[in-house]
Chains A and B, each alone.
Chain A
Amino acid sequence: MRSGKGKIPGSGILAGILIFWALVWLAAWATGGLDPEIDMGARLLAPGPGHPLGTDDLGRDLLGTVACAHGLSMVLGLVVAAGSLLIGGLAGMVAGWCGGRLDGWIMRAVDLVLAFPGFILAIGISACLDPGWRSLVAILVFCGWPGYARLVRVEVMKFRTAGFVLAALSYNASGPRIACCHLLPHVLPFVMVQASQGVGEVILAETGLNFLGVGLGPTVPSLGVLISMGMDHLFDRPHLLIFPGLMLVSLVFFFILLAHRLHGRLAARGGHLLGDTKKKGNRHRLFPLDIKADVP
């Protein structure tokens, strides 16, 4: 059908979100610094000269607190995604390359973790642990690695009998060498797409746990805690809810959109994120994942 129309400037949206964040960060930095102190004497102040967006339930400057929480969420999301990627990628690589019994055991572990409702287990586990970022990261990585393991395993199996791998085997390259130098460059683009989507999902899970009060503790500036506090002041100070919420949505939307863009690039360039496009038509489309041959 009309494949040329319906373009949305996806990169424009991404750039817009980045500019929005930069503005928020700059404004927070200029008006009182990031990570403001708790001051119970200055609770719930209305927006004014010292505090452009007022103060929150604990007397912190809202703008600075939200900027800090936003950065914290992003870093946590990236750290957890990187950790899951490392463990899952290694497990998937070993499973896909070695095959046989080892593959069976690793995939059984993957199925086991995926068979349970991750978020519910995370609530149960964090109820027993002391609050803190270490336990939060550990829980989220535990729930996150199986997805990457599955993906990497399938991709490695696809390339196991490819010409370049057989060539490397023929001159006696070792397993780890083939994995790092030959397989990794082919598998990485697919993993990056999933990781981008994964960062968004991790951020949602992390803020969800914080919202329920089982994450980092009530005094750490976190978007989930801030939203939960904002909910108590819906009648008198609705912006206490809306501003952190907006930052959270922009954060998650950014990574989901990024994943779509990367996937689109990947589909258009036949498995590579950089380099020439094969099919020109798909290149600038926002959601080219499910484009099919034209219907008569």
Chain B
Amino acid sequence: MTDYLVKRLLHFFILGWIAASLVFFLIHLLPGDPIDGMLGVRGSGRDIQRVREELGLNRPLVLQYADFIVRLPRLDLGRSIVHRRKVTELIAAYFPNTLVLSLASLLVSLILSVPLGLWAAIRRGSPLDTGVVLAASLGQAIPNYFLGPLLVLLFSILLGWLPVSGSGDAVHLVLPALTLGWSMSALQLRIVRTAVLEELEKPYVLLALAKGVPPGRLLRRHVLRNALIPILTTAGLQLGALLTGTVITETVFSWQGIGRLLVTAVRGRDYPLVQGLVLCMTFVFLIVHLVVDLVQAAISPRIRFEIRKR
């Protein structure tokens, strides 16, 4: 296990370093001067010089890069141009909202997908099964930025039950969590269904039936519990994929999270903030994958062996 842990951690740090370099060089090597884009036609010669000095862009590239990498472990990502605050402060202020939204939508997706997937699996081949799987395909095809406004139209404008957008209390959380949870549950449902189908084939199910275990109890106590490992693994991995969803959902509902912050930073050409946020989200993604890998390795020795063989 220690071997694997060390190897995986090393892997993580290399990936993190590559991500940081990529984000750094992206802004410097791509065609077009970032300052021109930032100030647009408004910038006079003196303005350009001032911003250039503020961002340290007048120094040699190598020095800038070294500086960037050295400041990274100290969590110093520079200052936002628009907000006039440290990027890390902004991230710390907005991140809790994103976390709340992500966890709420993960919960929604599990509540939707586990019972439906189980139901479809035990009635496999029936019209109900096909209907559920077809609905999941349709769910995959409806993106957040269409589903979100549709829900707003129905629940906020036509029925007047929920607020249109904003963030803060639980009422504001309902529609964004539903939007994001729905799109995740489409994939999750398939995984639940396949996992349960796989479990149903195993001999212990036959034994339990022969022993006279009631089917409901068999499903709850034995089948679902065994199918839970792949289900939870994908839920963990989806937490990483959720990042994509939060960017869009937060924009749709004006939810004050880092996803919306990223979009406003891109629109306002606030490059230090874009840089910091892309880096932060990439690290969240890498950390989630690291944790899922380590937990899996701890649960199943087979994965550890496979790594050692390589």
Q: Is B248 an interface residue (CB 8 A)?
A: yes
CA distance A230 to B148 in the complex (A): 12
Q: Which residue of A lies closest to B289 (CB)?
A: A115
B67 to chain A, nearest CB (A): 20
Give the total number of A-B pairs whose CB atoms are below 8 A apart. Answer: 158
* Among B34, B205, B267, contact of A213 (Cβ-Cβ < 8 Å): B267
Chain A, residues 179-218, CB within 8 Å of chain B (1/0): the string is: 0000000000000000000001000100110011110000
A235 partner residues in chain B, CB cutoff 8 A? 157
Q: Contact: A6 with B262, CB < 8 Å?
A: no
Q: Is A249 in contact with chain B by the CB < 8 A criterion?
A: yes
Q: Which residues in A have their C-beta under 8 angstroms from that of B184?
A: none
Q: Write out the residue numbers on chain A whose beta carbons fall within 8 Å of the beta carbon of B31.
A: 129-130
Q: Are B200 and A295 in contact (CB under 8 A)?
A: yes
Assembled-state Cα–Cα distance A282/B176 (Å):
39
CB within 8 Å for A119 and B244 given contacts A249-B146, A257-B137, A292-B197: yes
Q: Is B252 interfacial (CB-CB < 8 Å)?
A: yes
B194 contact set on A, CB distance < 8 A: 290
A124 to B143, CA, bound (A): 21
Q: Give the interface size bracket for A toward B.
A: 35 or more
Identify the closest chain A residue to B164 (Cβ): A234
* Complex Cα spacing A234 to B15, Å: 43
Residues of A within 8 A of B175 (CB): none
Give chain A interface residues in 235-255, CB to chain B under 8 Å: 235, 238, 241-242, 245, 248-249, 252-253
Q: Is the CB of B130 within 8 A of A286?
A: yes
Q: How large is the interface on B (under 10, 10 to 19, 20 to 34, 35 or more residues)?
A: 35 or more
Smallest CB–CB gap between B278 and chain A, Å? 4
Please name the residue on chain A nearest to B12 by beta carbon.
A115
- The answer to whether B247 and A119 touch across the interface, beta carbons within 8 angstroms, is yes
Instruction: Write out the residue numbers on chain B whose beta carbons fall within 8 Å of the beta carbon of A286.
Output: 130, 133-134
Q: Is A204's CB under 8 angstroms from B34's CB?
A: no
- Judge whether A117 and B240 touch: CB under 8 Å: yes
Please determine whether A5 and B127 come into contact, CB atoms closer than 8 angstroms. yes
Minimum CB–CB distance from B222 to chain A (whole Å) comes to 14
The answer to whether A128 and B130 have CB atoms under 8 Å apart is no
Residue of B nearest to A119 (CB): B244
Check: B82 CB closer than 8 A to any chain A CB. Answer: no
Residue B243 CB within 8 A of the other chain? yes
> Are A212 and B263 touching (Cβ within 8 A)?
yes
The yes or no answer to A267 lying at the interface (CB within 8 A) is no
Is the pair B143, A116 in contact by a Cβ cutoff of 8 Å? no
Tell me the smallest distance from the CB of B34 to a CB of chain A, in Å: 7
The 10 closest A-B pairs by CB, nearest first: A253-B141, A124-B278, A245-B146, A252-B141, A119-B244, A127-B266, A117-B285, A6-B130, A128-B30, A211-B145
Chain A interface residues toward B at CB < 8 A = 1-3, 5-8, 112, 115-117, 119-121, 123-125, 127-130, 200, 204, 207-208, 211-214, 224, 227-228, 230-231, 234-235, 238, 241-242, 245, 248-249, 252-253, 256-257, 260, 286-287, 290, 292-293, 295-296
Q: Which residues does B use to contact A, with CB under 8 Å?
A: 15, 18-19, 22-23, 26-27, 30-32, 34, 124-130, 133-134, 137-138, 140-143, 145-146, 149-150, 152-153, 157, 164, 193-194, 197-198, 200-201, 205-206, 209, 240-241, 243-244, 247-248, 251-252, 262-263, 266-267, 269, 271, 274-275, 278, 281-282, 285-286, 289
